[in-house]
Structure 1
Amino acid sequence: MTSERSSWTFLSNHGHVLVLVAREPGILLTSLSERVGISERAARTILRDLEEAGYLTRTKVGRRNRYEVHPDGPLRHPEESTTMVSDLLAAFGR
C-alpha cells in the first residue's frame, strides 16, 4: 500500500446519498452534494434514481424537500440482493 491516500471508497455515490438522506431527511441539496463530493446536478440525478427505484420518497414541505428512506428493499447488485437496505443503514449507525 502506498503512503498516498487512494481516491476510491467502498460505497458508490448512490450509497453515500442514501446513507446521508437516511441520517438527515431534511438535508439541503447543496449540503448533500458537498458532503458526498459531487455536483448538485449529480446529487439531484441520484435522488431521482433512488426515488424511481422505490428506495425513497420525496415530500415537499414548504420550499424544502424531505426524504423518507424505505429500508425494506433489497440492494440492487445480484451478489448483494439478499441484503436489505436496512442492513446497509444499520452498518452506518442509523
Structure 2
Amino acid sequence: MRGVPESHTGWTFLTNHARVLAAIAEDRTTRIRDIAARCQLTERAVQKIISDLEEGGYLSHTRQGRTNEYRIEEGTLLRHPADSGPTVADLLALLARHDVEHRGRGQQLHGTPPHARSAEADRMAGAPRQRGN
C-alpha cells in the first residue's frame, strides 16, 4: 500500500466518492476495509458511498464466496451538467494513467535537496522554467 500523506485542511480536487470509485477501478475485488484505509475513511463511510454509487447506476457488485466483485458500469456520465462529455470510465482511465506515469516520480524527489525540490516538481508537472535562476 502506498504511503499516506499527512492530513490537510481546505478543499481537495477529488471527492470521497471519486476516491472510492478509483480504488475499486484499481482492484475490483478490494475489501471495504482496504478502501477505507486507502481513502482515509471509515468502513461505514465507504459502505455508504458504495451504496450511493450503486443507487446512482455507477457501480454494481456480485458476491463471489465471501468477497464482492465490483463492476463499474460502462458509459455512465458525470453528474454535473458542466461536466458532460467524458464518462466516469474516461475519468478513471485518466487517473489510472496519471498514477502509472507518476508513481516513481515522488520517490525520485526524496533525494533532491530542499531548495531544488519545488523546481524539480514543477519541471515534472510541465510548468515552464523560470529564467534568471
The TM-score with structure 1 as length reference comes to 0.87
**Partner in structure 1 of residue 56 of structure 2:** 53
Q: Which runs of 5+ in 2 are unaligned?
A: 1-6, 98-133
| Matched residue SS, 2:96 | coil
Higher helix share: 2
With 71-80 and 29-38 compared, the bigger mean Cα shift is at 71-80
Q: C-alpha offsets along residues 14-71 of structure 1, whole Å, 9 cap, x if unaligned? A: 0001111011000011000110011000000000000111111111111111101113
Q: Taking every aligned residue pair, what percent have the same amino acid on both sides? A: 41
Q: How does 1:34-45 map to 2 (within 5 A)?
A: 34-45=37-48
**Partner in structure 2 of residue 72 of structure 1:** 75
Q: Which runs of 5+ in 1 are unaligned?
A: none
* Larger Rg over CA atoms: 2
Shift of 1:6: 4.3
Distance in 2 between residues matched to 1:39 and 1:81, nearest whole Å: 31
The total of aligned residue pairs comes to: 90
Distance in 2 between residues matched to 1:13 and 1:6, nearest whole Å: 14
**Partner in structure 1 of residue 88 of structure 2:** 85
Cα 1:71–1:89 shift into 2, 3 Å: farther
Larger relative contact order (Cα-Cα within 8 Å, sequence gap ≥ 6)? 1
**Partner in structure 1 of residue 105 of structure 2:** none
Shift of 1:81: 2.5
For the aligned residue pairs, the C-alpha RMSD in angstroms reads 1.5
